[in-house]
Chain A
Amino acid sequence: MKLTCEQAVKQFFAYLDRALSGEEFADLEAHLAACLDCCDKLSFSRELDAFVKRHLPDNPVPAALEARVRRALERAQGT
């Protein structure tokens, strides 16, 4: 394996974010194919991302917000 586990772990976020390509991507894939421990760690990082996304706040839009923004735009034009 070209990569050590420590080097592989450092690439996980870029891998999950589809920001690896070429040799970097191939080296990490080769490492993962041979290292179950890193596969488990990568799965956890992927799961943690999905977990945080699921828990992001999603408040309903306040009914008065559009009117407030329209008033602000009118004021901005008036000044």
Chain B
Amino acid sequence: MSLEEKTDRQSLDPETQRRFEALALPHLGHLYRLAVRLQRSAQDAEDLVQETYVKALRAFPALRDPERIRPWLCQILSRLVYDDHRTEPREVAVGDLAELDRFSLYDLIDQEDPFPYSDQLHRDFLARFDDGEVRRALLALPEAYRVPLVLLYVEELSYKELADALGCPVGTIMSRLHRGRKILERELWECAKQRGIVRTR
């Protein structure tokens, strides 16, 4: 039986719980912001934060370094999302992987040249998207890609730290970050086509 399973079945003494709350609750805002970036709705984000704290309380006796409580809480939260979706998403969700790896938003903008008089074509292309469109593009990523990418952007973790946090090999992290960004590029291109920023092919 793991330490986490052991502690799952026992109530902590009131002093330990108070200590946990004093150490962990100041990070509520940080965890909520991370949760909002990983989940599809604000309600889902609140549920995830609550689940994270309950799980963390039960595992708290196993935390060796209380100074590292924030990354530890972020890891628990991320794993709650990632572990349900850790296998390679079905092909239907992301399309042909070889084709995805070759996808280049830069080249497509170059070829399409939607703003012929622009001297900063690619920057002008990005400037056409608003917060909601970027958020929808990000949410189009299956969790197996979105979780490592958001952690990279928000927590600025190294590949090794991401691999440790999500419990997978560094090679998997590298490939998920690569493909996650490619899916994001593809979604922005599709959005541009739908909005008529570029001609539909």
Contacts and interface: CB of A to CB of B under 8 A. Distances in A.
Contacts of A48: 105, 126, 181, 184-185
Given A65-B32, A65-B49, A73 B135 contact: no
A34 B49 CA distance: 49
Interface string B8-20: 0001100001001
Interface in B99-139: 104-106, 122-123, 126, 129, 131, 134-135, 138
Contacts of A73: 17, 20-21, 53-54, 57
A55 B131 contact: yes
Interface residues of A, number: 33
A62 B46 contact: yes
A17 B152 CA distance: 8
A58 B123 CA distance: 23
A36 interface: no
A30 interface: no
Contacts of B126: 47-48, 51
